[in-house]
Chain A
Amino acid sequence: MNVLSPASHQARDIASLWWWMLGASGVGFAVVVGLLVAAWMRRRRPATADDEISTRFVVALGIVVPILVIGSLFVIANIFVIRTTQAPAGTATRLTVRVIGHDWWWEVRYPGTSVVTANEIHIPTRTPILLEATTADVIHSFWVPELNRKIDTIPGRLNKIELEADRPGYFRGQCAEFCGLQHAHMALAVYAQTPAEFRRWLAQQKQPVQPSNTVGGQLFLDGTCSECHTIRGTSADGTTGPDLTHLASRATIAALTLPNTPSNLAAWITHNQQIKPGNKMIDVQLPPAKLRALVAYLESLR
């Protein structure tokens, strides 16, 4: 998740801003080092008393040059570059994704559809997307550096930025505002897909699951799971934890903490407080056979 490997024109503008600023900073730093070296070279000469020439240097290097350089930076960055990184105009985007920060995971919705997922965002490439960010609890910050700058999620506010990926790919994001115990494990994944692939994904995510009579399915509905998690198409409609309707289609669990494999899922159910201490889920103790059945059910939610 590197600021300097941009995959959108916004991130590219910011990255080139960085390279220009780094270059100018290098020159400024060299001037100061040069002066200090000069002080070293002529350390044995007696001090001069003349103030006029030195003061002129101070005015030139300390006032005139900085005003010119910082003035140019100000205009380029805050008049021009900011146009692409600020909240987009309502008509400029073609798809809206709403992200809601939770302690400590991301809820992702596609307004106008029934799709709700968690910790991963799928977007079509070369399509300007309006990303709306808010929070269910404390302040978080949505940040996918390869696509755009970060935006805080603030109670009572709906903040907006634009996402537009140049190319298909996987872009990691992470919460950038300290939000409590598991701030460190609050990452998310953005998958930029070709528009056709994206449409397929969205259509698949819209499907509710078929009711299941398996042991695992019943366990989910009867046990504590459904109090906090939703599985669309069943009676499970809790909202404290992530929507699990298409859990098996996701690459990771617990906000990118673990790869989504049956053994990790089992470990998470029984030992999540060791893996992600303080998270809002409880360690669920199940006999091995029931645990296997529950994991099998969850892995069937494609």
Chain B
Amino acid sequence: MAVAVLERQWVARPGLLGWLTTTDHKRIGLLYFWTTLVLFGAGGVEALTMRTQLVQPNEHLVGPETYDQLFTLHGITMIFFFIIPMSTGAFGNYLIPLMIGARDMAFPRMNALSFWVFLGSGIFLYASLAAGSAPDAGWFDYVPLASRAFSPGRNIDFYALALILNGLSSTLAAANFIVTILKLRAPGMSLNRMPLFCFAFLAASFGLLFALPALTADCIFLFLDRRVGTHFFDVAHGGSALLWQNLFWIFGHPEVYILIVPAFGIATSIIPAFTQRRVVAFPLVAIAELLVVFIGFGVWAHHMFATGLPTTTLIFFAAASALVIIPSTIQVFAWCLTMVSGAAQFKTPLLFIVGFILFFVIGGLTGIMFVAIPFDQQTTDTYFVIAHFHYIIFGAAVFPIFGGMYYWFPKLTGRMYFELPGQISFWIIFVGTNVLFFPMHIVGLDGMPRRVYTYPANLGWGTYNLVETIGGYITLAGILMLFGNLVVSYFSGERASHDPWHGPTLEWTTASPPPVYNFAVIPAVRSAYPNWDAPRSTKPLTLDVGHQQPVTSVDDAVLGEIAVMPHESPWPILLALGLTVVCALLVVEKYAVAGIALGLCGVVLAAWHWQAVE
């Protein structure tokens, strides 16, 4: 009976309008999922075009102008428009409220805003490609190459504004995750009973919140230097070329941990489910997930070891880079020992986690080598570094995303995927990834620098590059098979129960797919594995008057007040549209009109809050 009331209270607006104005975290998660998937496709096409260009020496598939845009877009896309929004936007949005027993994110309309701004920034970035002036100075965009003197087109203006817009979206999402995780946990889910997945997303969100301002400031300085004539980075007028690098990496190095930490979270969800064993050394792992991001703020200059900084500075940052390894080694052995002492079932999701561990260890070991300053200075900006961070960013950050797609597929769709094709897709991607990236270590040590659109025939780099390109296409085949399996399963997979894996966390206690309100009865929690440790019977908390959601205390999750969550709203999408239009007008130098558009955004924001007061 209560369920019928809830259904009525939480019914979604039908049709397209329902999706455009939705505040449901699951719908927003799916919107993120589909959008980032399209952008992943774009980043993949860029990567394979580069690999095809490099298949042999002096190839002429694309010229340097196109190649520079390709590797710049590939980096920006995969980092800002695929991994971060896929892990936080899609996985985080969909799963965190379910895992903590909440009915939505803390700020549902802000959640919608962060998606629509993200979509706006993605369309804005790719509009630059359509306009023939995509960013072309690398994702790291060093000045003075990116200054107006050496890059007079609009390419870099697109870069600066796209990243400011994207950063706004990530900041909103990060703040939302932090408040959701800290305040909306089901009663009884004290911090020490919070799933490790949530610790990981909490760490990633704090990381984003504190790292992004450095990037945003950097991009604003760059835009001002280029358009207004300020001299932040202009050495001839007292600016500094290294200021850009410092600010960029103050953001950029925490960013690489922000990319990987959600993957840790996914791994710590899949491992207990498929070993039917609690994660070994839970408190150490939880602390490690937070520490890795925290220490990650102190290592930025190890991207600048070849810039001629004083040796003392180098040693400080090398020491921090050494320290940040320890939280990762703790986690690797915690995962491994959980698998050893559990009863591991090597199904597709766990296979992807095994792949993840192997890639993370290989990429981590080459990462440790960069603690040795002279070795870093020798190999930085070569293919050795490309090999290192693709083992981490593709092998370790994306494999758990693939594994997570299989793991939560039954929860999202109510159907099972096909196991054998799933396992085959894993092996193809695993082999392909190694064939693609392993030879890059060798060719890097053999002197091949990064970001070259072609290379001479007489240096012996051709064979390695040929093998790498073949690996690229093998990986593509595996990824196509993975998604093919999921698409076929969506239509004809076996019906899944609400808990096919006997998973440990709360999302497995509700229906598949979950109802709009997630839980008919707000769960009561007394362990970190609430689906395994059924709670003592308590008075059920139904909350079926309007969009009600319990708010609990930060540390012990003691029930405080009952909040009423907002309904669908048209304002987030309108505001996002307005902000995107402002950026477009700034790029084409229509400053006055941009000012008017910004004023209109203010009106939209006022209208939004007018509604809120009502």
Contacts from A to B (Cβ < 8 Å):
1-4, 10-11, 13-14, 17-18, 21, 25, 28-29, 32-33, 35-36, 38-40, 42-51, 54-55, 57-59, 61-63, 66-67, 70-71, 73-74, 76-78, 81-82, 85-87, 103, 137-139, 141, 143, 145, 149-152, 154-157, 159-160, 172, 174-184, 256, 277-278
- The reply to whether A86 and B311 form a contact with Cβ atoms under 8 Å apart is yes
Whether B213 is near chain A, meaning CB under 8 Å from some CB there, is no
Whether B7 is near chain A, meaning CB under 8 Å from some CB there, is no
Name the residue of chain A whose CB is nearest to the CB of B311: A86
- Write out the residue numbers on chain A whose beta carbons fall within 8 Å of the beta carbon of B378: 3, 11, 14, 145, 149-150
Smallest beta-carbon distance B155→chain A, Å: 12
Smallest beta-carbon distance A166→chain B, Å: 17
Task: Write out, one digit per residue, whether chain B residues 297-327 have a CB within 8 A of any chain A CB (1) or not (0).
Answer: 0000000001110010011001100100110
Contact of A47 among B319, B343, B346 (CB under 8 A): B343
- The reply to whether A155 and B235 form a contact with Cβ atoms under 8 Å apart is yes
Whether B90 is near chain A, meaning CB under 8 Å from some CB there, is no
- Write out the residue numbers on chain B whose beta carbons fall within 8 Å of the beta carbon of A32: 332, 336, 357-358, 361
- Write out the residue numbers on chain B whose beta carbons fall within 8 Å of the beta carbon of A61: 329, 333
Whether B281 is near chain A, meaning CB under 8 Å from some CB there, is yes
Smallest beta-carbon distance B576→chain A, Å: 33
Whether B563 is near chain A, meaning CB under 8 Å from some CB there, is no
Bound-state Cα–Cα, A2 to B453, Å: 20
Q: With A178-B142, A179-B145, A184-B64 in contact, is A1–B336 under 8 Å at CB?
A: no
- The reply to whether A54 and B452 form a contact with Cβ atoms under 8 Å apart is no
Bound-state Cα–Cα, A50 to B341, Å: 9
Smallest beta-carbon distance B31→chain A, Å: 35
- Write out the residue numbers on chain B whose beta carbons fall within 8 Å of the beta carbon of A82: 311, 314-315, 373-374
Smallest beta-carbon distance A94→chain B, Å: 22
Interface stretch of the complex, out of B9-17, B248-256, B363-371, B401-409:
B363-371
CB within 8 Å: A-B pair count: 251
- The reply to whether B329 and A62 form a contact with Cβ atoms under 8 Å apart is yes
Question: What are 13 of the A-B contact pairs (CB < 8 Å)?
Answer: A1-B447, A38-B340, A39-B275, A39-B339, A51-B280, A62-B284, A137-B150, A139-B142, A139-B144, A145-B378, A150-B306, A156-B241, A278-B64
Bound-state Cα–Cα, A36 to B350, Å: 12
- Write out the residue numbers on chain B whose beta carbons fall within 8 Å of the beta carbon of A77: 371-375
Smallest beta-carbon distance A257→chain B, Å: 8
Bound-state Cα–Cα, A18 to B65, Å: 35
Bound-state Cα–Cα, A25 to B374, Å: 18
Bound-state Cα–Cα, A39 to B353, Å: 13
Bound-state Cα–Cα, A289 to B368, Å: 61
- The reply to whether B326 and A58 form a contact with Cβ atoms under 8 Å apart is no
Contact of B340 among A13, A39, A176 (CB under 8 A): A39
**Additional A-B contacts beyond A44-B343, A63-B329, A70-B322 (18; CB < 8 A):** A3-B447, A35-B339, A36-B358, A39-B342, A43-B343, A51-B280, A62-B333, A63-B330, A74-B322, A77-B373, A85-B374, A103-B150, A139-B145, A149-B306, A150-B378, A176-B382, A177-B381, A278-B64
